[in-house]
Amino acid sequence: MLDLTLAEIAEALQGELVLTDAAVAAGFSPDTIVNGTVDTDSRLIGVGDVFVAKRGEFDDGHRFVEPAVASGAVLVVVEHPFDVAVAQVVVPDSVLALGFFATEVVRRVRALGELKIVGITGSNGKTTTKNLLRAILERQGETVAPRDSFNNEVGAPLTMLKLTASSRYLVAEMGASGKGEITRLIRMAKPDIGVVLKVGLAHAGEFGGIETTLATKTEMVQDLEPGDVAVLNLDDTRVAGMAEKTAARVVWFGLSDAAAVRATDVDVTARGTSFVLHLPDGSSRPVRFAVLGQHHVMNALAAAAAAFELGVGIDDIVEALETVVRAERWRMEVMGGADGVTVINDAYNASPDSMAAALQTVAIIAAPGQRTTAVLGEMSELGPYATEEHDRIGRLVVRYNIHRLVVVGEGARAIHLAAEHEGSWGGEAVFVETADEAFDLIAADTLPGELILVKSSNSAGLRFLGDRIAQANSTTEVLP
């Protein structure tokens, strides 16, 4: 974080600086400079850091103020004062204060003149695209990007607060569960480049329908100015329509020949994906992309488009893309096993689009005679679309001729029923209630050379099942 005095922080947070007698005795004053990491997790607090006590759905961060101080916090942001020997800023709402804090830090770093901000949104692919763009940009200069999927009203500002005076790039992943949330994040850190990947049914239950999802994702480009850039997916008609909603210059990416940043000669194998990257300046280069699945080529194109607009040349873009060995932990993560068994663990998140893409990838990369198994769990947050979309996935399993389907959990039962009711399929469909039952079933009958996909939303917990299946067959390793 930037060097800021306690008085400056209190003003930015629109709060009251409180210094107890013990804090004053410990040497704290309004002029004390703070530059440590800011976090809402007391377990991550170290010497010199700032702890923000956030009220959550299941717990209250105020319970952890004293442990945070014991771990070395020099400032706590709280909604009521504590008797502690460190500085406090008391605010009405810790989450709102966190946003104010991020806004001020971004403003100050912007004023130094070097920072460029890229905002990324979409129903799928945000985290992968963020990771790919970070891999490209961190070779060019100091780059700040979120860990995991830190893309909401808490995670995004925590990422922004990692900026320093020497930061050159901020890659901000911007998610939302309702209208106005992306706008709020953009007003903390307005992008120079806004990237929209896809508009699909992910979180449709929370949004209230696909049209609300579209309106929410469009917020990414509506506030962009004529000197900014909107990087849009030409292959997604909903995203393409956003060109009419932005004042920014539009750069298209996709597989279409009309896209300025495009891929040709895409070849998906069990070892990754190869394609030829084409950029707007006419340059092209073959890419050997270790991340599995054609859908991740689109994420690579989006990252390449943003990087190109920031002045990065094709050689540097390709070299960086080829160093990325997986999209993210539990996202199309390929694990090698004994006797040629391969496990694809893609159970960190799931939507109808990403589930279909994962099944398609299995169908494409499976060798002749190789048995394929799909272990599928619930796709969460689909609301009224849940039964219809789970049913569609069950029918896709049949269409792609996956040999064995194991459906885990009541929320995914419609996948099992749809596959069983689909005719002319020689495969086997099994329903189990728990991940433990699924593990026992798979462990008892895994063939040499089998290809096993594990896919569900994070809430279904199957990512750990994928690890267990891989570990049961070998010492887990990510294939190069």
Binding-site residue positions for ATP: 122-128
Binding site, annotated residues: 122-128
Specify the DSSP class assigned to residue 367: P
Give the alpha-carbon dihedral of 163, 190, 351, 239, to 10 degrees.
-150
Give the alpha-carbon dihedral of 405, 380, 458, 451, to 10 degrees.
20
Give the alpha-carbon dihedral of 44, 49, 52, 58, to 10 degrees.
10
Structure tokens at 396: 């896709």
Quick one: which of 59, 102, 53, 57 has its CA closest to 80? Answer: 53
Structure tokens at 227: 């000197």
Sign of the alpha-carbon torsion through 78, 83, 88, 92? positive
CA 102 to chain centre: 20
For residues 206 and 178, what is the distance between their CA atoms, to the nearest angstrom?
Answer: 7
Encode 183-213: b = buried (16+ Cβ within 10 Å), e = exposed. Answer: ebbbebbbbbbbbbbbbbbbbbbbbeeeeeb
Radius of gyration of the chain (CA): 24
For residues 326 and 296, what is the distance between their CA atoms, to the nearest angstrom?
Answer: 10
Quick one: which of 274, 271, 453 has its CA closest to 358? Answer: 453
